Every structure is written in structure tokens, then in C-alpha cells.
């Protein structure tokens, strides 16, 4: 059975005439009769009684007419729904984000997205970068937003979003607090607080320090940025964190940012998705909005010069 056969049958049922139905569909009467005959053969039931030039529905024909009308109503509804998806009047979007962008960057972008596309159901899942990457590869997420990401097989980077810099943070009572930078070799003197394994912040920091040949001493591993900030403020050590994550503490003087002389640890927040998953209109719209946000924030964040 084909949609064309149902379309022909409904046209005949409504017109009660093969001739008028053929004219409405721009078909020849023999072609129209062939479609009806094939449908009757498929269903093993007579659908129409031909009474001269007029047509009446059999009991089976009346039953099929009801189902065919529902079928085409459903198809019309489906076309409208897909059109609404394309126009972003409805839809859903599940985003996974690593901790730094998920907590400190994306909420503002998501707020703007919801204002622009209130019909789209957007949900955010936050975990460290390794977990987000695993969920993306398992096709559990529409998009992933992570920092310092290296693409794996079957992954595509849609955008290199906002620029981020990892600053060395010390409490205001620290001997380095009034300095803008320190010699890299001095880092080994201080206990270093780091994120857990699987964190992009830790991965990017360690990679940059190792490439520069800088010695460091990990004193404590903490699994949340807020825990690290509190530990630094309590004098338990120093830490490299995203400037996006410490804006409030830097503005109020609770943390002091500085750099290692001659070294800037920077990364982009990448928007990635699985090539096995179709990129939806809402996912494309979110990526475009993040690009807009990057354009507006070009030049930010501001960090100490030196």
C-alpha cells in the first residue's frame, strides 16, 4: 500500500465519481482505476461499488475512509511539527558541559537562548570533561561544551567558543598577592591544588607546565572549582583556575590572579558533537548564539597585564 493509493481512494470517495476524482488529481481515469484496484487487491476487499457514473463506498470502503482521513491528518500534523522545528517554535536540546563553562559561562547564553526560542526545551548536564566526552560518544547528548578538547574519532568541532585563560590564584595575604607575575621556577615552592583526573582544567594546566619544563608539586586534589577557591582563600595552596570562574572573588579582592613570567595558559571552550547524530535546528541555533556571545565578549576576560 502506498500513500498515493490512499490519496486516490480518498479523492474518489469524496467526489463519488472516478471522472471528477481524476480531474482533481490530474490523472487519467484508467490510471486512477488501477490505483484503486491495486489497493483492493492488497486489502482483499471491495472498497467501491460502481453504479453507472457514480460511486458508493462499501462497508469496507467506509471503514478505510475513516482510517485514511486520520492518516492524512497525522501526516499534515507531522509536516507542521517539522516546520515548527525548523522555525524553532518547538524542539528540545540536551547540552553537556564541563564544569567551568557549565557553571560560569553557559547560564547567560542559555538565558538569552530561552528568551529568543521559548518553545525549545533546553536542558544542561554538568560533569567533568571526560564524562561529557564519554556521553557524547555514546550519543546521549546533542552538544558538548568543553575546554581544551582534542577531537576523538567520529567527533566534530562546531565552534571554538569563548577564549579562556587559566590564572594562578593566591589569597590576598600571600607574599605574591601584590605581584602580577612570578618566575616560573618559584611555582615549585608552593603546594598546588588541582582538579580531579578527567578535568580539562587540570589537563590543560599540567600539559602547559610540562611543556614549559616547570616543576610543580601537587598537594591536594579537589573535585569542584568552588572547593578549590575556598581552599586557596583558606591558605591551603595555590591553584590555576579559569578567569571566568573567579570574576567575583577577584573583583572583591578575595583572590589575587597572577601569571608565570613568559607563560600564558589559554584555551577555547569548544562546542562538539557526534558525527553519528543529526545536528538539529535548535543545536545549530545554540551554536550560532554562542558565536554571537564570543563576538560581543571579544577581548574579555580581562586579566592582569604584565
Q: Are residues 148 and 274 in the same domain?
A: yes
83 pLDDT tier (thresholds 50, 70, 90): low
Final residue of a domain: which of 31, 64, 86?
86
Together in a domain, 189 and 279: no
Q: Distance (Å, rounded) from C-alpha 228 to C-alpha 192?
A: 10
| 298 pLDDT higher than 80 | no
21 in the same domain as 138 = no
Span 257-261, average pLDDT: 96
Classify the C-alpha dihedral 249-251-255-256 as positive or negative.
Answer: positive
Lowest mean pLDDT of 12-21, 76-85, 275-284, name the range.
Answer: 76-85
Which CATH number fits the domain that encloses residue 225?
3.40.190.10
Whether 254 and 175 share a structural domain: yes
Residue 262 and residue 282 share a domain? no
Query: What is the reported pLDDT for 26?
Result: 86
156 is in which domain, residue-wise?
Answer: 91-162+268-296
Q: How far is CA 195 from CA 63, 121, 301, in A?
A: 66, 31, 22
Measured distance CA(98)–CA(133) in Å, rounded: 9
- Answer yes or no: do 158 and 277 share one domain: yes
| The pLDDT value given to residue 84 | 65
pLDDT at 138: 80
Domain boundary among 53, 86, 119: 86
- Say whether both 211 and 260 belong to one domain: yes
Same domain (yes/no): 34, 103? no
* Burial annotation 81-94 (CB, 10 A radius, 16+ → b, else e): eeeebeebebbebb
Predicted confidence band of residue 299 (pLDDT cuts 50, 70, 90)? very low
- Mean pLDDT, residues 249-278 taken together: 91
In the prediction, which pLDDT does 235 show? 96
pLDDT score, position 150 = 66
108 part of a folded domain: yes
Q: Are 59 and 143 in a shared domain?
A: no
**Residue 81 included in any domain:** yes
- How much is the average pLDDT of 60-71? 90
- 303 occurs within a structural domain: no
Would residue 99 count as lying in a domain? yes
Q: What's the pLDDT tens digit per position in 98-135?
A: 999 999 989 999 999 999 999 889 999 999 888 998 88
Task: Look at 133-142, 152-161, 184-193 and tell me which has the smallest mean pLDDT.
Answer: 152-161
Q: How many CB atoms lie within 10 A of CB 10?
A: 17
- Confidence band (pLDDT; 50, 70, 90) for 303? very low
In contact, 21 and 8? CB cutoff 8 Å: yes
- 113 with 72, same domain: the answer is no
Residue 305 lies in a domain: no
Number of domains in the chain: 3
pLDDT tens digits along 128-144: 888 998 888 888 889 99
Amino acid at each position: 500500500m502506498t500513500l498515493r493509493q490512499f490519496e486516490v481512494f480518498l479523492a474518489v470517495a469524496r467526489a463519488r465519481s472516478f471522472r471528477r476524482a481524476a480531474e482533481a488529481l490530474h490523472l487519467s481515469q484508467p490510471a486512477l482505476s488501477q490505483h484503486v484496484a491495486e489497493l483492493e487487491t492488497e486489502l482483499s476487499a471491495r472498497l467501491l461499488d460502481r453504479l453507472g457514473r457514480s460511486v458508493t463506498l462499501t462497508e469496507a470502503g467506509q471503514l478505510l475512509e475513516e482510517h485514511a482521513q486520520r492518516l492524512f491528518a497525522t501526516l499534515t500534523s507531522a509536516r507542521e511539527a517539522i516546520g515548527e522545528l525548523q522555525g524553532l517554535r518547538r524542539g528540545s536540546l540536551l547540552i553537556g558541559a564541563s564544569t567551568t563553562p557549565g557553571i560560569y559561562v553557559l547560564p547567560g547564553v542559555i538565558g538569552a537562548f530561552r528568551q529568543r526560542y521559548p518553545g525549545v526545551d533546553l536542558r544542561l548536564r554538568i560533569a567533568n570533561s571526560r564524562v561529557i566526552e564519554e556521553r557524547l560518544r555514546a550519543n546521549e547528548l546533542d552538544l558538548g561544551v568543553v575546554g581544551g578538547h582534542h577531537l576523538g574519532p567520529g567527533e566534530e568541532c562546531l565552534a571554538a567558543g569563548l577564549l579562556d585563560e587559566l590564572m594562578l590564584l593566591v589569597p590576598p595575604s600571600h607574599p605574591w598577592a601584590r605581584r602580577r607575575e612570578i618566575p616560573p621556577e618559584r611555582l615549585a615552592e608552593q603546594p598546588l591544588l588541582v582538579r580531579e583526573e578527567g578535568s580539562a582544567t587540570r589537563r590543560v594546566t599540567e600539559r602547559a607546565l610540562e611543556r614549559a619544563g616547570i616543576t610543580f608539586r601537587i598537594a591536594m586534589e579537589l573535585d569542584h572549582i568552588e572547593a578549590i577557591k575556598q581552599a586557596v582563600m583558606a591558605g591551603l595552596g595555590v591553584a590555576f583556575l579559569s578567569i571566568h570562574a573567579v570574576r567575583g572573588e577577584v573583583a572583591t579582592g578575595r583572590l589575587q590572579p597572577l601569571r608565570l613570567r613568559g607563560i600564558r595558559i589559554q584555551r577555547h571552550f569548544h562546542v562538539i558533537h557526534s558525527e553519528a547524530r543529526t545536528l538539529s535546528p535548535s543545536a545549530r541555533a545554540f551554536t550560532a548564539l554562542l558565536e554571537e556571545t564570543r563576538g560581543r565578549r571579544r577581548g574579555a576576560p580581562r586579566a592582569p597585564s604584565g
